[in-house]
Amino acid sequence: MMKTAVLAALVGSAAAFAPAQTGRASTNLAVSELELGVTEPLGVYDPLGWIDTQPESFERRRAVERKHGRVAMAAVVGTIVHQNHITFDGYLSKSADLKFSDVPVGVDGIRAIPTAGLAQILAFFALVELAWMPASKYDGDYGVGWFGEDIEDPETKARKLNVELNNGRAAQMGILGMMVHDVLDGKPFIFIDSN
């Protein structure tokens, strides 16, 4: 069962390296090469053809991609921190007598969290999702800019937003790879033993 799940994840991610299709029909959305997230070497990356079939959902999908990228970047950093046994002092659950330092590293750590804790995490995610609905209205610009100063130059701002999207895309692939390695051999990093 586990091998089937890993194989399905790997086959699904293989689409990321498929060559870009050429000669695509024009769409109502009119995605231009200047659109945020459309960067070299892939250009407009739409392997499932949703820009043609569902152009009205493009903005929402881009906002969701940005949000998932941010979560993945935090997950990669969190994985690195936890693998180095850097933990908070105190209890994760006082009633279960579970300290943060007792939580195992990797995917096994999820199983150590009490059910009430997982319910709190899921409730928090749901509240965050509802707070920014619809997702297309959430553009990710908090108005504080780089270290509190807003970026005035549109080209610089576009470049930084593209960097964020690309780093988020890389982090999504990275955290998936870490989870696959952790399930297969107990080590999220290929060359580093977590013990």
SS3 letters across the chain? CHHHHHHHHHHHHHHHHCCCCCCCCCCCCCCCCCCCCCECCCECCCCCCHHHHCHHHHHHHHHHHHHHHHHHHHHHHHHHHHHCCCCCCCEEECCCCEEHHHCCCCCHHHHHCCHHHHHHHHHHHHHHHHHCCCHHHCCCCCCCCECCECCCCHHHHHHHHHHHHHHHHHHHHHHHHHHHHHHHHCCCCCCCCCC
| Binding-site positions | 65, 70, 83
Annotated binding site for chlorophyll a: 65, 70, 83
